[in-house]
Amino acid sequence: MAQALVPQLEAVFRISDNLLKEGKLMIDQPTALILGAGASMDFAYPSGSELTEQVVQITNDPRSNAYRCLLELEFNETQISEFANALRMSGRLSVDAFLEHRPEYIEIGKVAMTLALVRLEYIYNLFGSTDNWYVYLFNRMEAPFSEFANNKISFVTFNYDRTLEVYLFTALKNAYGKSDQEVASVISKIPIIHVHGKLGGLPWETPNGRKYENTDDPKLISSSAQGIKIISESSKIDESFGEARKVINNCERIIFLGFGYHRSNLDRLNIDKSSGHRFYGSCYGFTRIECSKIESYFRPANMNFGNTGWKVRKFLREYISL
């Protein structure tokens, strides 16, 4: 794997050298990045609606490894079929929105989402191209290894995937030639809050952490699914959103990336819009009317949107001075 990553990492270092020459080092303004599903699409992950389609697909295919995994985890064919049909005909745009009002399907829903997402865990998707926003961000965080954690940046993500942690860990390890323990210590100092949970801990985070790789092992899938939090599980969700609010309140800039701006998610963040925060947001694929509605939500603060044709990396490069 190391040899396969060399060309991509060399490209990362070239970008870093250019930034050094320009004198642009570290992120010095307290900044919170709030990530939605669109922020992970550079790495072959689905949008919320696409994940719904994928879950319906795997729960309707008895020949698939995913379906067999569900059976091994003691979900019977009737349960699987009823869940798949209810989700498909629910009109919901995301699986978690569906599960919020159908608690009887929470367990199978978590496992089905885990099966759909874990099969996308390929390290090469994170480093296969320099044309993604993680590369850009990592090089804006350029600093001596001992100072990397001093970047004034925090992450609040609504995504279950672990791409951000894996990218930072892998890039830091290869860029500086440090041990797993040294790199893990640095990353632990950078706030990364998964408000809806994530697909299990990583090996450098927890003693029994799961590697970032595709698997359909029932035991690993089951344990990873337990890391997902559904809105109806109020105590777990309230704690996560409480942590997110503390992080956000300590930041000057709040930047939404790949975010859907659903009213319920914004309400749960409960951001103080009169506190002087500066708000920015990507809005790829949104209409003018949709942007206008979101802008009205943030008043009296101003929500500064980028171009509706800009994906995350383009938005950051063109509109945000990190």
| Token pair 């990353």: residue | 187
Last residue of a domain, one of 98, 118, 138: 118
Look at residue 19 in the predicted model and tell me its pLDDT.
46
Query: pLDDT tens track of the chain, all 322 residues?
Result: 545 555 555 555 554 555 444 445 799 999 999 999 999 999 999 999 999 999 999 999 999 999 999 999 999 999 999 999 999 999 999 999 999 999 999 999 999 999 999 999 999 999 988 889 999 999 999 999 999 999 999 999 999 999 999 999 999 999 999 999 999 999 999 999 999 999 999 999 999 999 999 999 999 999 999 999 998 776 778 889 999 999 999 999 999 999 999 999 999 999 988 888 999 999 999 999 999 999 999 999 999 999 999 999 999 999 998 8
| Cβ neighbour number for residue 36 with a 10 Å cutoff | 23
Asked if residue 57 and residue 37 are part of one domain, the reply reads no
In the chain, the number of structural domains is 2
Asked if residue 200 and residue 146 are part of one domain, the reply reads yes
Does residue 65 belong to any structural domain of this protein?
yes
| Token pair 């990553």: residue | 5
Does residue 182 belong to any structural domain of this protein?
yes
Say if residue 134 is exposed, middle or buried (CB neighbours under 10 Å; 0-12, 13-18, 19+).
buried
Asked if residue 174 and residue 105 are part of one domain, the reply reads no
Asked if residue 302 and residue 262 are part of one domain, the reply reads yes
Asked if residue 288 and residue 253 are part of one domain, the reply reads yes
- Single pTM value for the model: 0.90
Is 251 in contact with 30 (CB distance < 8 Å)?
A: yes
Last residue of a domain, one of 87, 118, 149: 118
Does residue 123 belong to any structural domain of this protein?
no
Look at residue 86 in the predicted model and tell me its pLDDT.
98
Asked if residue 156 and residue 143 are part of one domain, the reply reads yes
Does residue 222 belong to any structural domain of this protein?
no
Does residue 219 belong to any structural domain of this protein?
no
Asked if residue 281 and residue 135 are part of one domain, the reply reads yes
Look at residue 10 in the predicted model and tell me its pLDDT.
57
Look at residue 247 in the predicted model and tell me its pLDDT.
94
Query: Which of 39, 50, 24, 83 lies closest to 283, judged by CA?
Result: 39
Asked if residue 199 and residue 134 are part of one domain, the reply reads yes
Interhelix angle 218-225/106-118, nearest 10 degrees: 120
DSSP notation for 7-44:
HHHHHHHHHHHHHHHHT--S--S-EEEEE-GGGGGGGT
Asked if residue 56 and residue 40 are part of one domain, the reply reads no
Residue 15's domain is classified under what CATH number?
3.40.50
Does residue 92 belong to any structural domain of this protein?
yes
Q: CB under 8 Å to 180, separation ≥6 — which residues? A: 173, 203, 204
Residue 204 amino acid letter: W
Asked if residue 23 and residue 161 are part of one domain, the reply reads yes
Is 292 in contact with 73 (CB distance < 8 Å)?
A: no
Look at residue 6 in the predicted model and tell me its pLDDT.
54
Q: How far apart are alpha carbons 155 and 247 in whole angstroms?
A: 8
Look at residue 23 in the predicted model and tell me its pLDDT.
46
Look at residue 21 in the predicted model and tell me its pLDDT.
45
DSSP notation for 267-290:
HHHT--TTS--EEEE--TT--HHH
Does residue 124 belong to any structural domain of this protein?
no
Q: How far apart are alpha carbons 205 and 264 in whole angstroms?
A: 30
Does residue 267 belong to any structural domain of this protein?
yes
Asked if residue 197 and residue 94 are part of one domain, the reply reads no
153 DSSP β-pair partners:
31
> Long-range contacts: 20-25, Cβ < 8 Å, 24+?
20/142, 24/140, 24/142, 25/142, 25/143
Look at residue 14 in the predicted model and tell me its pLDDT.
54
Query: Which of 268, 127, 263, 130 lies closest to 193, judged by CA?
Result: 268
Q: What is the dihedral of CA 159, 161, 166, 171, to 10 degrees?
A: -60
Last residue of a domain, one of 58, 92, 118: 118
Asked if residue 99 and residue 16 are part of one domain, the reply reads no
9: tokens are: 């990492």
Domain ranges, residue 31: 2-45+130-212+228-319
